[in-house]
């Protein structure tokens, strides 16, 4: 039969497409990938809406036990649900290739993701360069490989979408060293943490990829009723409470006047419920 890889969109159970919902309803089993991104509603809400049991597929299942997902898909339809779009992570490409190698037809059903919906902040999508990921620093591991890509984007005048770390069902290093997996509590990186880490790396590298007064846009819970978009300098956004996850960050490159004008509505401190210090309009003018 068919393996459906279904994009769920950005926020809740109603963001699924009609085509995606049809696929879920006709599937024998339904899996929800739950580690590269998260919906803003629990799986029980999805089950009520779909009228189907939803099996949570963590990293271990998807990467190490993919055959469990594909088992029986030659005879029955199976749906694999992905927050955002199916091709938002390489893991999903790997699952598709595994299915095809076993002669299982695959149907991809696309949806909105942060990669295109981030245009809601007013920065034009065709002016974005390579996206980067920022992971949580530890006492002994403070990687900065993303810095070179931000520097390249900025030198080319391009914006950079920063995808922030999501840790769900991650074993602690201490437990692995003892040979027994003990999972840490879930952690989802905030815009504020990402900014602190970015500024720490700039202080260490000092190559001018960005600085405290570089214009950025913080995006929280995009696509939901409580979405928050705030524009300002890195230093200003450090003072903003963006609320619950999920968060993303854009480091602006050179901006067209229309982009600059659009960003003014999101200027830090401009709204009735805005937090942080107000930024003067000139702060959103890129040199």
61 by Cβ neighbours in 10 Å (0-12 / 13-18 / 19+) ranks as middle
220-267 pLDDT, tens digit per residue, is 999 999 999 999 999 999 999 999 999 999 999 999 999 999 999 999
- Using pLDDT thresholds of 50, 70 and 90, give the confidence band for residue 182: low
Cβ-contact 40, 224 below 8 angstroms = yes
Are residues 81 and 215 located together in one domain of the fold? no
pLDDT the model gives residue 176: 58
| Same-domain status, 107 and 150 | no
Look at residue 81 and tell me if it is in a domain: yes
Range of the domain at 86: 3-112
pLDDT above 80: residue 272? no
**Predicted local confidence at residue 280, as pLDDT:** 38
Binding residues: 10, 85, 88, 113-114, 164, 222, 247
Q: Are residues 92 and 164 in the same domain?
A: no
Q: Give the annotated binding-site residues for S-adenosyl-L-methionine.
A: 10, 85, 88, 113-114, 164, 222, 247
Same domain, 229 and 172: yes
Q: What is the pLDDT of residue 173?
A: 61
pLDDT > 70? residue 271: no
E strands of 8-159, at which residues?
Answer: 29-33, 55-57, 78-82, 106-109, 132-134
**Cα-based distances in Å from 208 to 20, 30, 37, 198, 282:** 45, 47, 31, 12, 21
Q: How many domains does the chain have?
A: 2
Q: What's the pLDDT at 65?
A: 81
DSSP string for 234-263? HHHHTT----SSPEEEEE--S--HHHHHHH
pTM of the model: 0.89
Q: Look over the chain and give the mean of its residue pLDDT values, rounded to a whole number.
A: 90
Mean pLDDT of 169-192: 74
The whole-angstrom separation of Cα 16 and Cα 106 is 18
Backbone φ, ψ for residue 160 (5° rounding): -125, 120
Q: pLDDT band at residue 125, thresholds of 50, 70 and 90?
A: very high
Average the pLDDT over 104-133 and give the result.
96
Structure tokens, 15:
């963001």
Burial of 221 per CB tally in 10 Å (0-12, 13-18, 19+): buried
134, 217: one domain: yes
Q: Would you say residue 274 lies in a domain?
A: no
How many Cα neighbours within 13 Å face the side chain of 15?
A: 24
Query: Is residue 286 over pLDDT 80?
Result: no
CA angle 260, 263, 268 (to 5 degrees): 125
* The pLDDT of residue 34: 82
Structure tokens at 235: 């230093």
Which residue among 112, 128, 155 closes a domain? 112
Q: Within a domain: residue 75?
A: yes
In this structure, the answer to whether residues 174 and 237 fall within a common structural domain is yes
Q: What is the pLDDT of residue 116?
A: 95
**CATH code, domain carrying 159:** 3.30.950.10
Output 152 or 89, whichever has higher pLDDT.
152
Both 120 and 261 in one domain: the answer is: yes
């Amino acid at each position: 039969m068919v393996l459906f890889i279904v994009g769920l969109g950005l926020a809740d159970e109603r963001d699924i497409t009609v085509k995606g919902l049809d696929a879920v309803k006709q599937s024998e089993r339904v899996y929800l990938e739950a580690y590269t991104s998260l919906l803003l509603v629990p799986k029980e809400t999805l089950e009520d809406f779909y009228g189907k049991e939803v099996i949570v597929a963590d990293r271990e299942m998807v990467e190490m036990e993919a055959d469990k997902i594909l088992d029986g898909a030659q005879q029955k339809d199976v749906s694999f649900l992905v927050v955002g779009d199916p091709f938002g992570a390489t893991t999903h490409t790997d699952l598709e290739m595994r299915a095809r190698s076993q002669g299982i037809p695959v149907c991809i059903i696309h949806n909105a993701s942060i990669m295109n919906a981030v245009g809601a902040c007013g920065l034009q999508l065709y002016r974005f360069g390579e996206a980067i990921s920022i992971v949580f620093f530890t006492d002994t591991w403070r990687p900065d490989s993303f810095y070179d890509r931000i520097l390249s984007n900025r030198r080319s005048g391009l914006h950079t979408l920063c995808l922030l770390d999501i840790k769900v069902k991650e074993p602690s290093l201490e437990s692995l060293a003892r040979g027994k997996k003990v999972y840490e509590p879930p952690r989802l990186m905030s815009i504020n943490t990402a900014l602190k880490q970015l500024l720490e790396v700039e202080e260490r590298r000092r190559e001018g990829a960005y600085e405290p007064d570089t214009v950025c846009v913080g995006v929280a819970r995009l696509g939901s009723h409580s979405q928050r978009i705030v524009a300002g300098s890195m230093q200003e956004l450090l003072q903003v409470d963006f609320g619950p996850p999920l968060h993303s960050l854009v480091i602006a490159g050179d901006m067209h006047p229309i982009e600059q004008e659009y960003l003014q509505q999101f200027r830090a401190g401009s709204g009735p419920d805005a937090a942080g210090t107000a930024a003067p309009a000139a702060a959103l003018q890129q040199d």
